[in-house]
Amino acid sequence: MDNKNEFKPYIPAEKVTAELTVTSIIMGVLLAVVFGAANAYLGLRVGMTVSASIPAAVIAMGVIRIIMRRNSILESNIVQTAGSAGESLAAGAIFTLPALFLWAAEGKMDKPGILEITLIALIGGLLGVFFMVPLRNALIVKEHATLPYPEGTACAEVLLAGEKGGANASTVFAGMGFAALFKFIIDGLKVVAGEVSYTIKGFKGTIGTQIYPAVMSVGYICGARISSYMFAGGILSWMVLIPLIVLFGENSILYPGVDQTIGEMFAEGGASAIWSSYIRYIGAGALAAGGIISLVKSLPLIISTFSGALKSIKGAGANSTERTARDMNMKVVLIVIAVLTLLIWLVPAIPVNPIGAIIIVVFGFFFATVSSRMVGIVGSSNNPVSGMAIATLLIATLILKLTGSTGAAGMASAIAIGSIICIVAAISGDTSQDLKTGFLLGATPKKQQYAEVIGVVASALAIGGTLYLLDKAWGFGSEQLAAPQATLMKLIVEGVMDANLPWALVFTGAAIAVVVEVIGIPVLPFAIGIYLPVQLNACIMVGGLVRLALDKLCKKNKDAVVNDGILFSSGMIAGEGLVGIALALLAVAKVDKVIDLSKYVPATVSNLGGIALFAVIILTLLKFTVWKKRVNENE
């Protein structure tokens, strides 16, 4: 049954309204850069990114409808289409490319140039968009009734609510403003602690929490279940594994730790020193096993999706005269894909040989298909991009090693291949969600595809500078920017190329992941929890608990209250990310020391101030959710 003939979008095909305008392009570019930078910072801190589609759509509505006094839902849709591309491209880039910086810090190779980063991001992003063009009719139109695309559908509902006057951008902007203020107080002025911890004497276990609005917001958006899995992983590593390592190895020097006994290491650097030398390898093993498990579990779906999509590509609607069925010209798409493949091979700035270029195209189209289908069923948050990247890296590194491409050049080539594939998977998933939004609203697919390209180009031009800035300010792999996925990718490539990993720790993590999977706990959030500091996981858990409380206590207008919280939290993530970038600029300019007031504040006062500020952060979230609704109801 042809769903295209049955379904009637909000804007009929015969009606033409403003879409790809100068206003929507400029706003889309700005939001792509803003959300790309904010999500790059967030992902490098906590190992997770959040969708930018809904906050971008709300901001677009606020500006176009309220400030500019214009009313075009399809114009707002173009803004969120271009704007969300920045978040997806940043996610793909930060999961892999910081590995090159980590190797450079170790003296194994030179830092990647900004041109190299930009080209890798640009080519990966463009391939992600163009691979989706022939798949749109098969997955978005023909399977409209079976593939819900949760984020795409939710974004359409938000835009429709705005069309009817039920949504506004003030909640998102308020979140941005409050988070910017809190972040500046914590990490700019440093008058309150950004983290409060306590180590239990005689036990060596450490517990505590961070005080950051963006981290708490991640927990609110993910919900209590996912937050609790991450927190459980943190408890295992910081309250079980670290105390056991110190207990049994206190007087021992164990690889990969060098020059110090474990007891001396703990006395000097606390639990963080044990995490750095041992726990991160256990966490890496758990993450790698979790990624592979999620991929294996998805194999039946992957195979059926790919074969079904290939059969449905013919007659994809490229030549249709109906406005809502017009895609980019298929011949142009194929030519561009061929040109991009040649560029991967021929451009000297990209460290990939002809074999690598072939791997990218084959795996890229395969994983673009898989990613698009899977986000249609389970949503972008559950898309196993890291699993796809791990599988690609393992295969690519083995092929490169067998063909004689080893050492620093081989490792850089493997990461470049993995980066492009990771970005392809992330962008294709985002593009399919955006096309679903457009399908429901009655957008012109071709114009949305152009908007995706514009968003990819804008964010690709910005991502290189963002990574360089963050690395120069704090360094990847540091306490401020743990870069968990990139560190994992680095360890995988090194393990295959050099066979020098502490395999006992890695396999311990893999075994933990298998046990967790067997007892029915989602393995990836648990594995991320093992890898990340427990203080960060605890902050995420607080956000999840706030969300749970609102779910349980708000009987009236529950959906509106929770959605306001998601919008406010999205704004807080963006606000903190932008101030994080601004503080990085101050650190590079060596101005950060001038505004640092920490030397005037005693440690006890700083810790108490941090706890008080955390309470204020929670209260602001409540103010723009449950209390906002009570005010509105009383008016």
Q: Where is average pLDDT lowest: 23-27, 198-202, 473-477, 507-511?
A: 198-202
User: What is the pTM for the complete model shown?
Assistant: 0.76
Q: What is the pLDDT of residues 559-610, one digit of tens each?
A: 888 888 888 988 888 888 888 888 888 888 888 889 999 999 999 999 999 9
Query: How crowded is the C-beta side of 192, counted as CA atoms within 13 Å?
Result: 19
- Spatial distance between the Cα atoms of 175 and 232, rounded to a whole number of angstroms: 28
Average pLDDT over residues 155-162: 79
Residue type (1 letter), 79: V
- DSSP secondary structure letters along 356-369: HHHHHHHHHHHHHH
The pLDDT score that the predictor gives to residue 31 is 92
Residue 201 Ramachandran class (φ > 0 left, ψ -120 to 50 alpha, else beta): beta
The pLDDT score that the predictor gives to residue 381 is 56
Percent of the chain with pLDDT over 90: 38
- Spatial distance between the Cα atoms of 360 and 383, rounded to a whole number of angstroms: 19
The pLDDT score that the predictor gives to residue 635 is 38
- Spatial distance between the Cα atoms of 304 and 307, rounded to a whole number of angstroms: 5
Confidence of residue 236 (pLDDT cuts 50, 70, 90): very high
Question: Is 90 exceeded by the pLDDT of residue 515?
Answer: yes
CA angle 152, 223, 279 (to 5 degrees): 110
Q: Bigger pLDDT: 560 or 239?
A: 239
Strand partners, 209: 196
Q: What is the pLDDT of residues 451-465, one digit of tens each?
A: 999 999 999 999 999
End-to-end distance of the chain based on CA atoms, in angstroms? 49
Residue with tokens 């509106």: 560
CA distances from 386 to 232, 365, 394, 418, 426 (A): 21, 16, 12, 10, 10
Q: Are 94 and 289 in contact (CB under 8 A)?
A: no
> 199: which DSSP letter?
E
- What 3 state SS string does 382-438 have? HCCHHHHHHHHHHHHHHHHHHCCCCHHHHHHHHHHHHHHHHHHHHHHHHHHHHHHHH
The pLDDT score that the predictor gives to residue 305 is 56
The pLDDT score that the predictor gives to residue 631 is 44
Residue type (1 letter), 131: F
The pLDDT score that the predictor gives to residue 97 is 94
Question: Is 80 exceeded by the pLDDT of residue 509?
Answer: yes
- Spatial distance between the Cα atoms of 163 and 129, rounded to a whole number of angstroms: 28
| Collapsed DSSP state (helix, strand, coil) of residue 341 | helix
Average pLDDT over residues 468-474: 91
The pLDDT score that the predictor gives to residue 258 is 67
Question: Which of 433, 569, 497, 378 is CA-nearest to residue 83?
Answer: 433
Question: Which of 132, 127, 125, 123 is CA-nearest to residue 346?
Answer: 123
Q: What is the pLDDT of residues 432-450, one digit of tens each?
A: 999 999 999 999 999 999 9
| Collapsed DSSP state (helix, strand, coil) of residue 97 | coil
- Spatial distance between the Cα atoms of 96 and 258, rounded to a whole number of angstroms: 27
Element (H, E) at 208: strand 206-210
The pLDDT score that the predictor gives to residue 155 is 83
Question: Is 60 exceeded by the pLDDT of residue 318?
Answer: no
Dihedral sign from CA coordinates of 17, 22, 23, 28 = positive
Question: Is 80 exceeded by the pLDDT of residue 69?
Answer: no
Query: How crowded is the C-beta side of 191, counted as CA atoms within 13 Å?
Result: 9
